[in-house]
């Protein structure tokens, strides 16, 4: 046996692996219920999904971000957020940390990222961001690995 598994639709995944799907969804609901801004978490999920090349999650989080009213210019420029000059310092601190956790998890946290994180987030919010980043990375790997077709654009 070799090669990637056959594509599995998200609906099939939900039916066949309900407990896994429910566990991942519950992590997102947990973060939402603790008060971390939904717009911020959607920007983080979108950016991490771009980095991981997960077309399903990119489209899903674009749809959600549009539905909750995230400005189109911000969505259009998230891939270049460092130079876009339209993200708040808080958002940039979250995005920098999320990127670090996704791409450099074995490396030490750069002082600039640490400073921005501690300046703009409480310990509780930092933990919630870590849960968000871990969860979207898990979703990216599942959706990409099982080749979920992207949802329809909103």
Output the pLDDT for position 2: 58
Cβ burial of 63 (10 Å; 0-12, 13-18, 19+) is middle
Quick one: pLDDT at residue 4? 67
Does any domain span residue 151? no
* Domain containing residue 126: 10-145
Looking at per-residue pLDDT, the higher value among 90 and 110 belongs to 90
CATH code of the domain in which 54 resides: 1.20.1290.10
Residue carrying the six token digits 């609901």: 29
Q: Is residue 74 part of a domain?
A: yes
Greatest alpha-carbon span in the chain: 51
pTM, to two decimals = 0.92
Q: Is residue 32 part of a domain?
A: yes
More confident residue, 66 or 6: 66
Q: Is 95 exposed, middle or buried (0-12, 13-18, 19+ CB in 10 A)?
A: buried
């Amino acid at each position: 046996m070799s090669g990637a598994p056959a594509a599995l639709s998200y609906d099939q995944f939900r039916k066949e692996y309900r407990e896994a799907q429910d566990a991942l969804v519950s992590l997102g609901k947990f973060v939402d219920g603790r008060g971390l801004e939904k717009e911020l978490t959607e920007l983080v999920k979108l950016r991490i999904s771009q980095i991981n090349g997960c077309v399903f999650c990119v489209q899903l989080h674009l749809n959600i971000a549009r539905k909750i009213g995230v400005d189109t210019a911000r969505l259009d420029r998230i891939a270049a957020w460092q130079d876009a000059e339209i993200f708040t310092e808080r958002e940039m601190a979250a995005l920098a940390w999320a990127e670090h956790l996704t791409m450099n998890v074995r490396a030490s946290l750069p002082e600039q990222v640490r400073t921005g994180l501690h300046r703009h987030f409480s310990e509780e919010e930092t933990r919630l961001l870590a849960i968000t980043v871990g969860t979207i990375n898990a979703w990216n790997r599942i959706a990409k690995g099982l080749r979920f077709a992207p949802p329809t654009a909103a």
